[in-house]
Amino acid sequence: MSEHGIGSQVVTQIAIVVHDIEQSIDHVSRAFGMAKPEIIITDTVEKARTNYRGTSSPAQAKLAFFHLGQVDLELIEPIGGPSIWQEHLDTKGEGVHHIAFAVPDTAAAVAALKEQGMADVQHGYFEGGMYTYVDTAPQLGVMLELLEFFGK
């Protein structure tokens, strides 16, 4: 897999971590002249099986998605326990958190990135798939999210 990288060049999202998702939705809606999207709250740890830096975490987040052609702009407000989202707010403040790619095989993609010194820092499940955040900051300067959709 390493010669093929993560197995995808399909960017699906660019995400921004924010302190107040409602306020950020207002700003983005006005800036792009778009309707306000629904706010989604991620599943609890029992369903999402959230793992942050090797430990189960009750972390949740409020999410909102603006559909901008082939790429979504995702807003994330962390709630609950420790998470990569809260870590970003605490260390860097609001701003771009990750670029997300749809991948066919998360395990293979994580292994390929691990060979390059990039670590899985958080992962979990959602209805229909799973997500994995890989810290590529030392090499690429940005967090990557790998999204695998089951049954597709």
Determine contact, residues 13/145, Cβ cutoff 8 Å. yes
HEC string for 77-109: EEECCCCHHHHHHHHHCCEEEEEEEECCCHHHH
Q: Kindly tell me if the per-residue pLDDT of 28 is higher than 80.
A: yes
The pTM is what?
0.93
Residues in the chain: 152
Residues with Cβ < 8 Å from 4, sequence gap 6 or more? 112
Beta strands in the chain (DSSP E): 11-17, 40-41, 51-52, 55-56, 60-68, 71-79, 95-102, 119-126, 129-135, 143-149
Q: How many domains does the chain divide into?
A: 1
* CATH number of the domain within which 47 lies: 3.10.180.10
pLDDT digits 0-9 by tens, 72-97: 999 999 998 899 999 999 999 999 99
pLDDT of residue 22: 98
Domain containing 66: what range? 2-149
- Banded model confidence at residue 66, pLDDT cuts 50, 70, 90: very high
| Phi and psi at residue 111, to the nearest 5° | -60, -40
Q: Kindly tell me if the per-residue pLDDT of 3 is higher than 80.
A: no
